[in-house]
């Protein structure tokens, strides 16, 4: 029997990898421009990190973690998200002793044992960024601006930023009692999980995927109804700063996010047309998290976005991705001597940084042209016995469909003149 990949995982194959590279390049570029540095944390961590960091009453910790005992009987978990690990690294590497804030980003696979469906996988990839050590509402706006600008640059349209404030521990006490008061009489109609949440963490009921629970919470008091004065002021400043950088947002007072660590600002970005799993990004402020996992009291804010879902929106919106085909050259050499000379030209072009290929299967000209088409080549350099004798080469422009003969020594100059971004050749 053929062995198949595990449910909820995907092979990212050469046909699609260009789109990943495109996103990865854009991610690194924008993060560097906004002053974020990359961090790479382990893919597995002590289970306790997520129990404490993500929260015992969340679906992620309760139902979705890939947890196992290693051979030393330690409980290990494949990371279901990136924030807890970044905060652990911040503490463990004593980043709190450096000038603040510390601005970090990450990119890599996450693992959740979820019910798989379109847009919901068991291994998926997130790009996330975190700012640690700064409480200013401008930081919240900067983080949302990074997301907004990133989507603008990659060409996504029709997105909606949902914004909320879930308050601080002071507001939570009030929130908790108002929620419990409201739901008291309907408690027995809640799902079993929510009946449990009712005592432990009633705010999580707002996040329940069960339709019955959702119906029961249509008119519940929202987190915005119970904000303390400081949280209200913070929220107002975040909104002002978002307006100042031209970001459109919608207040969604029911959005509480599925992780326990959020305080104050919480946000999600939704995209149309990719089905039920329309959230392409989520994040918020988590001022208590670093302390929760054993570090000094440190404010923090961040987000994570799912790469697979961004790719789905790019596909849906038919966004063209510039993958530099303008700069590809194929050398079509015919005959043993031409192949030898062709290989020399190939290596010269490569030394000049030109993306160049040569047929290695000894195919005829027609098949080589097909190969060039398949590879998205812009220029084919044709070299046969006749051209060899004249010390010349035929250059065929695949996009314009015309060709001309130039001397062997003029190849570099020709490409330099005609190629897009010909600085690569200098």
Residue ranges binding ligand AMP (CB under 6 A):
81, 112, 114, 119-121, 124, 126, 258, 279-282, 304-306, 308-309
Shortest spacing between CB 43 and ligand AMP, in angstroms: 15
Quickly count: other Cβ atoms within 10 Å of residue 343's Cβ: 14
Residue 39 or 369: the one with the smaller Cβ distance to ligand AMP is 39
Residue 112 or 378: the one with the smaller Cβ distance to ligand AMP is 112
CA distance linking residue 119 with residue 280, whole number of Å: 10
Shortest spacing between CB 124 and ligand AMP, in angstroms: 3
Shortest spacing between CB 35 and ligand AMP, in angstroms: 22
Shortest spacing between CB 222 and ligand AMP, in angstroms: 20
Residue 56 or 348: the one with the smaller Cβ distance to ligand AMP is 56
Shortest spacing between CB 30 and ligand AMP, in angstroms: 17
Q: Residue with the closest Cβ to ligand AMP?
A: 306
Shortest spacing between CB 259 and ligand AMP, in angstroms: 6
CA distance linking residue 415 with residue 423, whole number of Å: 11
Shortest spacing between CB 343 and ligand AMP, in angstroms: 45
Residue 16 or 323: the one with the smaller Cβ distance to ligand AMP is 16
Residue 160 or 324: the one with the smaller Cβ distance to ligand AMP is 160
Query: Which 3-state string (H, E, C) describes the chain?
Result: CCCCCCCCCCCCCHHHHHHHHHHHHHHHHHHHHCCCEECCCCCEEEHHHHHHHCCCCCHHHHHCCEEEECCCCCEEEECCCCHHHHHHHHHHCCHHHCCCCEEEEEEEEEECCCCCECCECCEEEEEEEEEECCCCHHHHHHHHHHHHHHHHHHCCCCEEEEEEECCCHHHHHHHHHHHHHHHHHHHHHCCHHHHHHHHHCHHHHHHCCCHHHHHHCCCCCCHHHHCCHHHHHHHHHHHHHHHHCCCCEEECCCCCCCCCCCEEEEEEEEECCCCCCCEEEEEEECCCHHHHCCCCCCCEEEEEEEHHHHHHHHHHCCCCCCCCHHHEEEEEECCHHHHHHHHHHHHHHHHCCCEEEECCCCCCHHHHHHHHHHCCCCEEEEECHHHHHHCEEEEEECCCCEEEEEEHHHHHHHHHHHCCCHHHHC
Residue 82 or 299: the one with the smaller Cβ distance to ligand AMP is 82
Shortest spacing between CB 380 and ligand AMP, in angstroms: 41
Residue 306 or 342: the one with the smaller Cβ distance to ligand AMP is 306
Residue 305 or 415: the one with the smaller Cβ distance to ligand AMP is 305
Shortest spacing between CB 5 and ligand AMP, in angstroms: 15
Residue 224 or 304: the one with the smaller Cβ distance to ligand AMP is 304
């Amino acid at each position: 029997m053929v062995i198949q990949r595990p449910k909820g995982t995907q092979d990212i194959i050469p046909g699609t990898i260009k789109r990943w590279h495109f996103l990865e390049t854009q991610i690194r570029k924008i993060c560097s421009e906004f002053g974020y540095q990359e961090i790479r944390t382990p893919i597995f961590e002590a289970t306790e990190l997520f129990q404490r960091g993500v929260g015992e009453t969340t679906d992620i910790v309760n139902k979705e973690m890939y947890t196992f005992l290693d051979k030393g009987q330690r409980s290990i978990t494949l990371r279901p998200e990136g924030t807890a690990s970044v905060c652990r690294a911040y503490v463990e590497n004593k980043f709190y002793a450096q000038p603040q804030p510390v601005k970090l980003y990450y990119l890599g696979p996450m693992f959740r044992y979820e019910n798989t469906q379109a847009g919901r996988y068991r291994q998926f990839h997130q790009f996330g960024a975190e700012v640690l050590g700064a409480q200013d509402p401008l930081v919240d706006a900067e983080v949302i601006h990074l997301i907004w600008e990133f989507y603008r640059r990659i060409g996504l349209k029709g997105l909606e930023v949902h914004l909320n404030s879930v308050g601080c521990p002071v507001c939570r006490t009030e929130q908790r009692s108002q929620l419990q008061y409201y739901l008291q009489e309907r408690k027995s109609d809640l799902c079993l999980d929510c009946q449990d949440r009712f005592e432990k963490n009633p705010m999580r009921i707002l996040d329940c995927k069960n339709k019955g629970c959702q119906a029961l919470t249509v008119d519940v008091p929202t987190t915005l109804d119970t904000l303390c004065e400081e949280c209200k002021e913070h929220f107002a400043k975040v909104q002002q700063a978002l307006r100042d950088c031209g970001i459109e947002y919608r207040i969604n007072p029911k959005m509480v996010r599925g992780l326990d660590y959020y305080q104050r600002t919480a946000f999600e970005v939704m995209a149309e047309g990719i089905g039920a799993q329309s959230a392409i990004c989520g994040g918020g402020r988590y001022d208590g998290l670093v302390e929760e996992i054993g570090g000094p009291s440190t404010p923090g804010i961040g987000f994570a976005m799912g790469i697979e879902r961004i790719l789905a929106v790019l596909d849906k919106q038919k966004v063209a991705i510039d993958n530099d085909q303008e700069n590809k050259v194929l050398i079509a050499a015919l005959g043993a001597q031409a192949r030898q000379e062709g290989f020399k030209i190939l290596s010269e072009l490569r030394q000049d940084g030109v993306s160049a290929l040569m047929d290695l299967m000894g195919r005829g000209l027609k098949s080589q042209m097909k190969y060039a088409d398949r590879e998205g080549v812009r220029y084919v350099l044709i070299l046969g016995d006749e051209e060899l004798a004249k010390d010349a080469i035929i250059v065929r422009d695949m996009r314009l469909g015309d060709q001309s003969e130039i001397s062997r020594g003029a190849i570099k100059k020709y490409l330099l003149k005609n190629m897009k971004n010909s600085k690569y050749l200098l």
